[in-house]
Chains A and B, each alone.
Chain A
Amino acid sequence: MVTPSLGVLAIVVGYPVIYTLILSVQDYNLLSAAPARFIGAANYAKLFRDPTFWQALVNTAAYTFGSVGVSVLLGLTLALLTENLGGCRGRLTRALLLTPWAVPFVVVAFLFRYMYLQNGGAINALLLAAGFISAPISWLNVSLLAMPAVMVTNVWAMTPFFFLLLSAALAGIPNEVIESARVDRAHTLSMIFRIKLPFLRNALLVSSLLMVIANFNDFAKIWAMTQGGPGYSTTTLVIYVYRQAFENFAFGYASALGVVWLLLLLAFAVAYLRALRMD
């Protein structure tokens, strides 16, 4: 029964992974007429000496965990706030809160890119009108601000996912548990932290694992907004791999980066799955 599925997986997953592993130990440039040459671990040695790789790794961690962390908190807060909203008002509020999830990520990226513009951007116009700033800020072109600005965009796009999942998980908490907590006069905070959050643990773990993987691989938003700049301040691993593979055409080196990236994600997924089993 499982043989056909394994066959398909071997082709669509196994072949690219194995081919990437093979390329990662070769000197292979797409523009070169010379055939690929075996160079052992030279690409890996180069990678560990490459400061841009380390910066990309730090940026990836900041982007991924920062975005997921804030989105989880916001999604959870919104789910708790709207939990008891019923009728037409509840449906309308939930529909509005889910809207960003329905917007394609590239569209979100371009929308925010234009809103962040120093000249003519809506965000600067608002902040200037409100008197919070005295001169327009070039949000995406200041090294220190670019990453937080991209993360805000990402959080806006991702929060509805957590809101949706956690709202469903909240609705699944048995009424008896809530009722008995009320009988015991549990106040709001202890109801959230002692009753609801333990019930949401699995939903939180699974949803954040999914989003960590998705954000680790997020290319479209960052590329559309900053292309990894200014400098390397928003260059994540996926952007760096793209530049190596499709701008420098250094497929060997890009594959070595890809292998490290894969191993990191695998290690993270295993740790997460273990945490789930410990429940």
Chain B
Amino acid sequence: MVDTNGLRRILFAASITLLFGFAIDAVAADGKIVITFANWAAAEGTTKPSIDQVIADFEKAHPDIQIKSEAISFSEIARQLALRLKAGNPPDVAQLAGNDTFVIASTGKLEPLGGYVDADLKGPAGFWYNKQVMAKAGLDPDKPPRTIDELMSAMATIKKSQPDVIPLALDTTNRPFSLQSNWPWIATFGATPLAASKGRADSPEMKRYLTWMRDLAKNGYIDPGRKIGEFRPLAAQDKVAFIWDQVLLQGVIQSVNKMSDADFYRHWGVTTQPVGPSGKPYSFEGGHQLVIFADSAQKKAAWTFIQYLATSPEAVKIYTLGPGSSLPPLSAAPKQELAAKLDTPIYRSFTVSVIPTLTTPPFGPAFATASSAIMAGVQQAVTGSEPIDQIANSIQQQLDRQ
């Protein structure tokens, strides 16, 4: 059993700064140091142009370093990195997120990092509400639902007035990210389904959560089986009323419908999750990390690249705050221009309201294994007719066997 706190410490250290003792840099035939960078940014249409631009700018600023970008989809990256680690062929640098970072860190093959960047890095999800859809349904667009009961009532009104709109976009696919994304909803019902968080999947709170999920599906309030990324283009077409997503949603929506910033803020708002029986709203930590692999022969150059990607004003402007944007890993914006970019209703909402509600699941390899059983149970609750008690017991039995 992996000690989660220990793992968290490893991750914390790994995702932030580099220890001492760089290996001698490997040099390519043309004299350049080649760094392989496994990332999903280059695999996604929205972010590819900006990451390509940042890499080109970096290479121009560092003519002795060449970046070999390896595009791997978000869902595949941990799998491929684990296999490449075992085969002794990891990249130098990789982009990771959420539980995947803990899974890869558990191999002990990440370079320990620490101390260079602001440690308080966050990538939370917020409750986005479409003001246009709410107004059309006769709801007050400036008063998003604050409780689960208000949410249910608002969704009923929206469903009645606009049957072609998906009232709530939730990712219910079976993958570790989905459990990560659903964790705050489980938490607001007071449930903690994993033993690592001192809970059980067959608790009354978990059953209440599963019952609520079934109600959502029965009433047609969610569209099960879609990944969160598949809801984003629909959100851009006003086919989604509420969506549980990260900061990057703004960039994706604007890249699809070419909406101006001002229009976007008139159209969309973001706030904390509507609270459930626990009386508390939660959010999940979905921040992206950059890691260096311990076997890399180019650690010094790899660090230079990571530093540039994470903190250079150019990279923050083009990539981090660009299409598919997220919160930059900086405690204070270094330039006036960036400070202005960060002074928006969306970033303010995330910083002031959402980030304080963050809850971190017990990440690690056990979380990945458990996610399969829990999300299969959630899917059974959402799409089947088996009694909820039976589903919850079945999840717990599967967790006990692991």
Give the interface of A toward B (CB within 8 A): 29-31, 33, 46, 49-50, 52, 117-119, 135, 138, 140-144, 146, 226-233, 243, 246-250
Do A246 and B108 have beta carbons less than 8 Å apart?
A: no
B225 / chain A contacts, CB cutoff of 8 Å: 138, 140-141, 226, 229-230
B166 part of interface (Cβ distance < 8 Å): yes
* A46 CA to B401 CA, complexed, in Å: 9
Interface check B365, CB cutoff 8 A: yes
- On chain A, the residues within 8 Å of B379 by CB distance are 141, 229-231
A residues less than 8 Å from B147 (CB atoms): none
Nearest-CB residue, chain B, relative to A33: B108
Inter-chain contact count A-B, CB under 8 Å? 85
Q: Which B residues are in CB contact (< 8 Å) with A33?
A: 107-108
A141 touches B383 (CB 8 A): yes
> Measured between C-beta atoms, what is the minimum distance from A264 to chain B in Å?
23
> Which residue in chain A gives the minimum CB-CB distance to B224?
A141
Name 19 A/B residue pairs within 8 A (Cβ), A-sorted.
A29-B365, A31-B103, A31-B107, A46-B401, A49-B401, A117-B223, A119-B223, A142-B384, A143-B384, A143-B385, A229-B173, A229-B174, A229-B379, A230-B224, A231-B377, A231-B383, A233-B383, A247-B175, A247-B372
From the candidates A135, A231, A249, name the one contacting B82 in the complex (CB within 8 A): A249
Specify the chain A residue showing the minimal Cβ separation from B75.
A227
Question: For residue A232, which residue of chain B has the nearest CB?
Answer: B376
In the bound complex, residues from chain A placing their C-beta under 8 Å from that of B217 are 141
B376 touching A30, Cβ below 8 Å? no
**How many residues does chain B have at the interface if contact means C-beta atoms less than 8 Å apart?**
35
Contact with A along B365-399 (1 / 0, CB 8 A): 10011001000110110111100000000000010
Q: From residue B380, how far is it (CB to closest CB) to chain A in Å?
A: 4
Question: In the complex the two chains form, what is the Cα distance from A213 to B164 in whole Å?
Answer: 42
Task: Return chain A residues, CB-CB under 8 Å to B224.
Answer: 138, 141, 230
- Partner of B372 from the list A117, A144, A243 (CB cut-off 8 Å) is A243
The residue of chain B having its C-beta at the shortest distance from the C-beta of A246 within the complex is B79
B239 beta carbon closer than 8 Å to chain A: yes
Which residues of B come within 8 Å of A, CB atoms? Answer: 79, 82-83, 86, 103, 106-108, 164, 166, 173-176, 217, 220, 223-225, 234, 239, 365, 368-369, 372, 376-377, 379-380, 382-385, 398, 401
Nearest CB to that of A113 among chain B residues?
B225
- Which residues in A have their C-beta under 8 angstroms from that of B176? 247
B380 touches A230 (CB 8 A): yes
> Other CB < 8 Å A-B pairs besides A49-B401, A138-B224, 15 of them?
A30-B82, A31-B106, A50-B401, A140-B225, A228-B174, A229-B379, A230-B224, A231-B377, A231-B379, A233-B383, A247-B176, A247-B368, A247-B369, A248-B369, A249-B365
* B106 neighbours in A (Cβ, 8 Å): 31
The interface residues of chain A lying within 8 Å CB-to-CB of B173 are: 227, 229
B211 to chain A, nearest CB (A): 16
List chain A residues, Cβ under 8 A from B79: 246-247
Across-interface contacts of B372 in A (CB, < 8 A): 243, 247-248
Contact B83 A138 (CB under 8 A): no
CA distance A247 to B175 in the complex (A): 9
Cβ of A227 and Cβ of B174 under 8 Å apart?
A: yes
A227 to B172, CA, bound (A): 12
- Report the Cα distance A198→B376, complex, angstroms: 46
Q: Which residue of A lies closest to B401 (CB)?
A: A50
Q: Assess the A30–B83 pair: CB atoms within 8 A.
A: yes
CB distance from B93 to the nearest CB of A (A): 20
A141 CB to nearest chain B CB (Å) = 4
From B108, B234, B384, A231 is in contact (CB under 8 Å) with B384
In the bound assembly, the distance between CA atoms of A226 and B401 in angstroms comes to: 25
Bound state CA distance, A249 and B225, in angstroms? 24
A contact residues around B223 at 8 Å (CB) = 117-119, 138
Q: How far is the CB of A10 from chain B (nearest CB, A)?
A: 22
Q: Which residues of A contact B383 (CB under 8 A)?
A: 138, 141-143, 146, 230-231, 233
- Give the distance in Å from the alpha carbon of A231 to the alpha carbon of B174 in the complex: 8
* Residues on B with beta carbons closer than 8 Å to the beta carbon of A29: 365
Nearest Cβ in chain B — how far from A148, in angstroms? Answer: 14
- Chain B residues with Cβ below 8 Å from A230 are 224-225, 376, 379-380, 382-384
Q: What's the minimum C-beta distance from B294 to chain A, rounded to whole angstroms?
A: 12
Would you give the shortest CB distance from A220 to chain B, in whole angstroms? 14
Min CB–CB distance B391 → chain A (angstroms): 8
A142 to B384 alpha-carbon distance, docked (Å): 6
Q: List, in ascending order, chain A residues with CB within 8 A of B164's CB.
A: 119
CB-nearest residue of chain B to A227: B174
Nearest-neighbour CB distance to chain A for B369, whole angstroms, equals 5
Q: When chains A and B are docked, how far (Å) is the Cα of A205 from the Cα of B301?
A: 61
CA distance A146 to B174 in the complex (A): 15
CB distance from A243 to the nearest CB of B (A): 6
Contacts of A243 in B (CB 8 A): 372
- Chain B residue numbers with a CB within 8 Å of A233 are 383-384
A49 to B397: give the CA distance in the assembly, Å. 12
A54 to chain B, nearest CB (A): 13
How close is A196's CB to chain B, nearest CB, in angstroms?
44
In contact, A30 and B86 (Cβ under 8 angstroms): yes
Instruction: Quote the shortest CB–CB distance from B364 to chain A (angstroms).
Output: 10
Q: For A118, what are the chain B residues with a Cβ–Cβ distance below 8 Å?
A: 223
Q: How far is B130's CA from A71's CA once the two chains are assembled, in angstroms?
A: 46
How far does the Cβ of A213 sit from chain B's closest Cβ, in whole Å? 26
